[in-house]
Amino acid sequence: MLPFLQYCKQKSKSFLLKITGTNSVLGHRLWAKDFPKPTEEIKTKFLIVGSGISGLSACRYLKNNNENDFLLVEMENHLGGNASNGENRFSKFPIGAHYLPIPNKEDLELIEFLKDCKIYLGDDENGLPVLDDEQLTFPKQERLFFKNEWQNDLIPQNGISSNAKEEITGFFKLMDEFRIKKDNSGKYWFDIPVSKSSDEAKNLDQITFLDWLVNNHFQSQELLWLLDYSCKDDYGLGLKYVSAWAGIHYFAGRKNNWATNRQDQVFTWPEGNARLAKHLSEFVENKHLKHHLVFDVNSDKDNVEVLVFDNQSKISKKIIAEKVLFATPQFVNQYIFKSRKLKNFNYVPWLLSTLTLKNEFGGAEELAWDNVIFGTEGLGYINDQHQNLNQIVGEKVITHYRSFSTDNCKKARRQLYNLKADELKNLVLDDLKVAHPEIEDFIIDIQFHKLGHGMISPVPDFIFGVEKQLAKQNVDNKIFFAHTDLSGISIFEEAFHQGIRAAKEMIGI
């Protein structure tokens, strides 16, 4: 315990705090629709709305299939959506997605993309894929602060009871069984993309993961923490809220059957998945407009007319297209379309905090790429410089991840939007101080990034629910939809395939 005076002195320490986030002010104008009348007209065969991975992936598919008459519009000042990044004097850092696991061998389209990006370099003499070492996590990949010390690996190990050990082993054995389970037609029970999964296990979508665990006699504190952490990592929501199908999918969806010698690693970069968005952005060179918010859509028998507000020149434009693909989340689409009210699409808010720290932070102990703290609200922090090829001698840059796991995302979002810099600082430091009680002595600045609608919530009856299936359907073969929320699971692979699926539908393949 620190003496009170010293604590006060520490409390008075000042450093620069900056708040960023998605352009919610512009986004919220969709409610009022107080935009000027259009004064310009643009014609294109295909219009893609939204430059997240799904929108960019759709554009790549069009271009690869010789459909070059298309235009992409994006409301933000950059492409990438949730796969974007920031940069300060010392490092790039993700402001959203930060890694991609090794794909399944059946995922040929993703593997081909990795080949195009020179991440997958070919096969060796034994037929094993050769992957670019520099784009896979360097050691040490992860560590867990547990019982007052750092241990390697995220599974709690030191000093846990034999019961807990047995439960952990038993759980993973069960997941190995789920991983290979197929139905009579040869479909995996749990697959990526989700749409390829059999519905054989859809009853698991009716209960929460926690209920399923309790029914199966899993109760050790360490295992439940690990599973809660894992669910929050991919879904933002803990095991109390996600469906058992989603919880099991986290472990069983990835087959560990390609690049089998690399299964402990993931693809990552200092800027996170913005690297992958950059690769995809090559397909929209000179074919996109940033700062353009779509706010209305109307179609007749020949065309679709889309109204767009250019937030730089402050004018509205009319875009006339034969077909339009909305790669935007459904909470946005319901404001653009008059009759698209979806009540089950809920989104978990996230807060990402990037801290610049004096070089001495962490002491002699080397930071891992992923540093997780047992029992805290957050998901730990990423060492943003871990993948840098040059030795770091200056300041350190880390990004802390925190989702707001709740059954009332709307309330949590409102609270997050209202939090001031000092409150955000306390929220993040309370978490980090569990492992780094002196962290405040090292902070130079903190950038907070608020993501009000970070991830879709795969709560019971959502993934196999009727509403999600209906939301994916095109309108009159003219308007198409692609977004990770239509998968129910917010990961790169889902966005990538959503884009391909919708683009195929649009050009009639």
Ligand X SMILES: Cc1cc2nc3c(=O)[nH]c(=O)nc-3n(C[C@H](O)[C@H](O)[C@H](O)COP(=O)(O)OP(=O)(O)OC[C@H]3O[C@@H](n4cnc5c(N)ncnc54)[C@H](O)[C@@H]3O)c2cc1C
Around Cβ 45, how many Cβ atoms within 10 Å? 15
Residues 241, 175: Cα–Cα separation, whole Å = 20
CA atoms within 13 A on the CB side of 422: 4
Given the complex with ligand X, which of 27 and 465 has the nearer CB atom?
27
Tokens 């991919």, residue located: 234
Minimal distance, residue 480 CB to ligand X, in Å: 14
Angle, helices 492-507/108-116, rounded to nearest 10 degrees: 100
- When asked if residue 491 is in the footprint of ligand X (CB under 6 A), the reply is yes
User: For the window 319-338, what string marks contact with ligand X as x by the rule CB under 6 A?
Assistant: --------xxx--x------
Amino acid at 87: E
Report in angstroms how near the CB of residue 277 gets to ligand X at its nearest.
8
Q: Is 220 in the site for ligand X (CB under 6 A)?
A: no
Would you say 402 or 436 has its CB closer to ligand X? 402
CB of 83 to ligand X, least distance (A): 4
Residue 483 within binding range of ligand X, rule CB under 6 A = yes
The phi and psi torsions of 300 (rounded to 5 degrees) equal: -115, -165
Among 429, 492, 501, 505, binds ligand X (CB under 6 A): 492
Q: Which residues contact 256 (CB under 8 A, 6 or more apart)?
A: 102, 179, 263
User: Is residue 52 a contact point for ligand X (CB under 6 A)?
Assistant: yes
The answer to whether residue 428 forms part of the interface with ligand X (CB under 6 A) is no
Does the footprint of ligand X cover residue 490 (CB under 6 A)? Answer: yes
State how beta strands 396-403 and 304-310 pair: unpaired
Residue nearest to ligand X (CB): 52
CB closer to ligand X, 327 vs 439: 327
Q: What gap in Å lies between CA 253 and CA 100, rounded to an integer?
A: 14
* Closer of 404 and 442 to ligand X (Cβ): 404
User: Residue 144 interacts with ligand X (CB under 6 A)?
Assistant: no
- Cα angle vertex 506, ends 505, 509, to 5°? 50
Based on CB atoms, which residue is closest to ligand X, 145 or 335?
335
Q: State which of residues 51, 220, 243, 399 lies at the interface with ligand X (CB under 6 A).
A: 51
Number of residues that bind ligand X (CB under 6 A): 37
- Cβ-in-10-Å burial (0-12, 13-18, 19+) of 138 comes to middle
Asked whether 247 and 235 are in contact (CB, 8 A), the reply is no
Concatenate the DSSP letters of all residues of 15-75 into one string: -EEEEEES-HHHHHHHHHT-PPPEEEEEEEEEEEE--SHHHHHHHHHHHHTT---EEEE-S
Q: Write out the binding residues for ligand X, residues 72-91 only, by CB under 6 A.
A: 73-76, 81-83
Position 110 contacts ligand X (CB under 6 A): no
What's the rounded Cα separation, in Å, for the pair 218 and 167? Answer: 6
Q: Which stretch binds ligand X (CB under 6 A): 70-78, 194-202, 237-245, 420-428?
A: 70-78
Could you report how far apart the first and last alpha carbons of the chain are, in Å? Answer: 66
* Token digits of residue 501: 């699926």
Give 197 or 220: the residue with its C-beta nearer to ligand X.
197
Return the residues of window 256-315 that contact ligand X according to CB under 6 A: 273, 293-294
Cα gap 307→299, rounded to integer Å: 11
**Owner of token pair 């081909």:** 112
Only segment of 50-58, 109-117, 252-260, 471-479 that touches ligand X (CB under 6 A): 50-58
447-466 residues in contact with ligand X (CB under 6 A) are 451, 454-455
Q: Based on the shown chain and the rule CB under 6 A, indicate whether residue 471 belongs to the binding site for ligand X.
A: no
For the record, the structure tokens of 401 come out as 């991840």
Nearer to ligand X, 50 or 156 (CB): 50
Residue 79 CA to residue 279 CA, distance in Å, equals 11
CB of 317 to ligand X, least distance (A): 12
54 binds ligand X (CB under 6 A): yes
The two beta strands, 142-146 and 370-373, are parallel
- Strand intervals (E) in 117-261: 120-123, 129-131, 142-146, 149-152
Q: CA nearest 482: which of 103, 47, 183?
A: 47
Give 371 or 490: the residue with its C-beta nearer to ligand X. 490
Q: Is the torsion defined by CA of 23, 28, 34, 39 positive or negative?
A: positive
Residue 387 has phi, psi (to 5 degrees) of: -90, 5
Of 35, 46, 48, 50, which one interacts with ligand X (CB under 6 A)?
50
Nearer to ligand X, 98 or 425 (CB): 98
Least separation, in Å, of the C-beta of 487 and ligand X? 8
Q: Residue 97, interface with ligand X (CB under 6 A)?
A: yes
State yes or no: residue 405 binds ligand X (CB under 6 A): no
* Residue 73 or 119 having the CB closest to ligand X: 73
Task: Provide the greatest CA pair distance for the chain.
Answer: 75
Selected binder of ligand X within 38, 55, 86, 270 (CB under 6 A): 55
Least distance CB 379 / ligand X (angstroms): 9
Query: Which two tokens mark 30?
Result: 């969709």
Nearer to ligand X by Cβ, of 277 and 373: the residue is: 277
Residues near ligand X (CB under 6 A): 49-55, 73-76, 81-83, 96-100, 273, 293-294, 327-329, 332, 350, 352, 451, 454-455, 483-484, 490-492, 495
